[in-house]
Amino acid sequence: MTNRLPPAEHRILICDELSDAALAVFRAKGFEPEVRTGLSEDQLVAAVPGTHALVVRSATKVTRRVLEAADRLRVVGRAGVGVDNVDQDAATERGVVVMNTPTGNTVTTAELAIALITSLARHVPRADALLKSGQWTKKGLTGTELTGKTLGVVGFGRIGRVVADRALGLRMQVLAHDPFLAPGAPVPNGVEATDLESLLARADFVTLHVPFSDATRNLISRERLALMKKGARLVNAARGGLVDEQALLEALEQGRLAGAALDVFEVEPPAKDSKLVLHPAVIATPHLGASSHEAQHQVAVDVAEQICEFFLTGVANNATNVPAVGAEALRDLAPWVLLAEKAGALLAQVATKPVRKLELTIAGDIAQQDARHLPLALLTGLLKHQGADPSVNFVNAPVLARERGLQLFEARGPEEHGFHSSISVRASGEESQRAHTLTGTIVGRKPMITAIDGLRLDLEPKGPILITRHDDQPGVVGLLGTVLGAHRVNIRRIELGPATEMTPSGVGLATGILSLYEEPSAAVLSALRALEPVREVRLVRL
């Protein structure tokens, strides 16, 4: 359905610096946006009432407070990939579409990686600095040809595939690793798919193109750096935190690696006296991945065209929290969309290995509606926490799922579980992998998880949640509470279930689910795992 307001009556607020090309697109379609950059949260809260669309890049934070003040807001457009600066839960609850522009900087980021690889190979920055300091010398600047060398591409999504294509053009041998590609998934001619350890051991150059998550934190660890060939070179133009920076510095100082090129860092900007940044074998750039005229032009054009399309036709392209459907259908279904996405996120985090099969049942009144949003939301929530491209959304989730060998089966039926409407999900992987089940419903407009693996719950899927497997004996709750209390971690709610399985020694294993107000540190998790009756502690972030 189309929006009833004519274009000129829409109030569109551009909050960050954007190419003038975006203004030209809006005006060509009859819209007249307002540009107000550099607003604080208080200023944005005051400015947003009556606004129909916000256009941001990374600087402006669209918080829950801003969204609650936005009485007429329909869409937030992010000129770029990441939407960490937008509270998507709050937006979804209020039926506000959040959209990004996932393809505008693909080539630019890939080309930066290639530029860093070639610069490492020929010591370009060091040669430039020496000559400008008055030294005409080639000592220590003997490089290496790329032709015939092996490039390892870690993460074979949109950007990784462009990097591989360019490297093949340079006559390099290309290895690719992506843990979420299904076994036997097709790769381009000339590319060899392999496991990470083999890639690291064989590659002369390694370039990273994976999202940052708990699963990929320090992906290139001290142990994995030790697997790399002596004299190899590492490039990270993806996300800070993927590399153990201290371990990388040691590998460079010991001469085990010949060099590294880093566009991103665990802390940005890095310290001015950072030994890693200042190391002579390191090329360091200030997060330039998307910084090209072409990319900035394209993301500006993309976000303007998408917002115009949304207002003129009601279709939300590249939406990260809702599918491309009529905008007016969102308000009633928004809580269900959020519930399905949270269900996917939870199941991805409790599974010990990648989920390969999802079985979704939509039951009751909601099954009679156009609920095609829900399987897309389920896929998106799961893939975001299962190492997929960070730009995964309702549009590309089915494609990414197919690439990773993830199947989704949907069924609809009458009322179940005593609720007028509910959803149930079963997530499974390899045959030896334990399947997990989840049921949820909506109370008011609030998503609620009502069962996990047969354990009856009344769980709001938000914030950090601890899931424990412990001996079914008295006093366990007290032990957990004592550790959390000693570390000043406040518990929101505790749910306990009876023993559902037995250990080989005949001890029953029970489940505990603890909703917390703040995320526990690694030290707290270690203390919990050290408790004698506790067999497993898993932290879930929702």
What is the Cα–Cα distance from 463 to 515, expressed in whole angstroms?
Answer: 7
Rounded to the nearest angstrom, the gap between the alpha carbon of residue 245 and the centroid of all alpha carbons in its chain is: 21
Q: Catalytic site residue 268?
A: yes
Query: Which amino acid type is present at position 85?
Result: N
CA angle, 387 then 389 then 395, to 5°? 120
Catalytic residue among 36, 65, 287, 469: 287
CA angle, 182 then 438 then 490, to 5°? 110
What is the Cα–Cα distance from 455 to 500, expressed in whole angstroms?
Answer: 9
Question: CA dihedral in degrees (260, 265, 266, 268; nearest 10)?
Answer: 160
What is the Cα–Cα distance from 184 to 434, expressed in whole angstroms?
Answer: 23
What is the Cα–Cα distance from 406 to 484, expressed in whole angstroms?
Answer: 37
Catalytic residue among 74, 78, 224, 239: 239
Instruction: Give which of 120, 119, 117 is closest to 258, Cα–Cα.
Output: 120
513 with 440: CB under 8 angstroms?
A: no
Ramachandran bin of 30, using left for φ above 0, alpha for ψ from -120 to 50, beta for the remaining angles: left
Task: Output the six-digit token pair for 129.
Answer: 């600095």
What is the Cα–Cα distance from 452 to 454, expressed in whole angstroms?
Answer: 5
Q: What is the helix (H) or strand (E) element at residue 270, kind and residue range?
A: none
How many CB atoms within 10 Å of residue 35? 14
What is the Cα–Cα distance from 160 to 311, expressed in whole angstroms?
Answer: 34
What is the Cα–Cα distance from 408 to 399, expressed in whole angstroms?
Answer: 12
- Residue in the block written with tokens 């519930």: 339
Determine the 3-state secondary structure of 239 from DSSP. Answer: coil
Positions marked catalytic: 239, 268, 287
